[in-house]
Amino acid sequence: MAPKAPKNSTTFPIYVLNGPNLNLLGTREPEVYGYNTLADIQKAVTARAKAHGLTVAFKQSNHEGVLVDWIQEARIKGCGVILNAGAYTHTSVALLDACRALTNPLIEVHLSNPYKRENYRRRSFIAEAADAMICGLGAAGYVIAVDAMAGLLKEQKE
């Protein structure tokens, strides 16, 4: 029998997962992605989670399989997932399948607004599994996602 995902958000972290090239944030294309580095975002997200009494497991990988592994890990060891899958958003059925197996809340985040950009960015595989999507707000979108996650986790407990 599949292990039941934990609901206890005071014990289990929110997994904040970042996909390919997001390690380059703050170094190039600031007009699209802003001036914040991923380390800045991690700091802001961790502080906001703390204010809600929550913790964060913040990770980035350029590798699809590693992201699949972390989503699977979050299913067992996390209370929810905030995912910016980067370009894999638009291509990865493997990430969609992993996300579909989640039983805790999933919020998709994008720094830019993919709907204002190239046509190929309009399709999100992640969106088919996500409870919510936040895009176009830059780094603030991650912090808003933490607030939203706190709300969803509170609803779960009620």
Catalytic residues: 33, 110
Q: Which of 39, 51, 76, 87 binds ligand CA2 (CB under 6 A)?
A: 87
Instruction: Name the minimum Å distance from CB 24 to ligand CA2.
Output: 4
The answer to whether 132 and 148 have CB atoms below 8 angstroms apart is: yes
Among the listed residues 125, 122, 82, the one whose alpha carbon sits nearest the alpha carbon of residue 104: 82
Which secondary-structure segment (H or E) carries 107?
strand 106-110
Q: Is there binding between residue 13 and ligand CA2 (CB under 6 A)?
A: no
Q: Which of 14, 16, 17, 22 binds ligand CA2 (CB under 6 A)?
A: 22
How far apart are alpha carbons 30 and 156 in whole angstroms? Answer: 37
Pick the closer one to ligand CA2 by CB: 28 or 50: 28
Please give the residues from 34 up to 73 whose contact with ligand CA2 meets the rule CB under 6 A: none
Residue with tokens 């509170």: 154
How far apart are alpha carbons 9 and 152 in whole angstroms? Answer: 11
Please give the residues from 96 up to 155 whose contact with ligand CA2 meets the rule CB under 6 A: 110-112, 114, 121
Helix, strand or coil for residue 105? coil
Q: Which positions touch ligand CA2 (CB under 6 A)? A: 21-22, 24-25, 27-29, 33, 84, 86-87, 89, 110-112, 114, 121
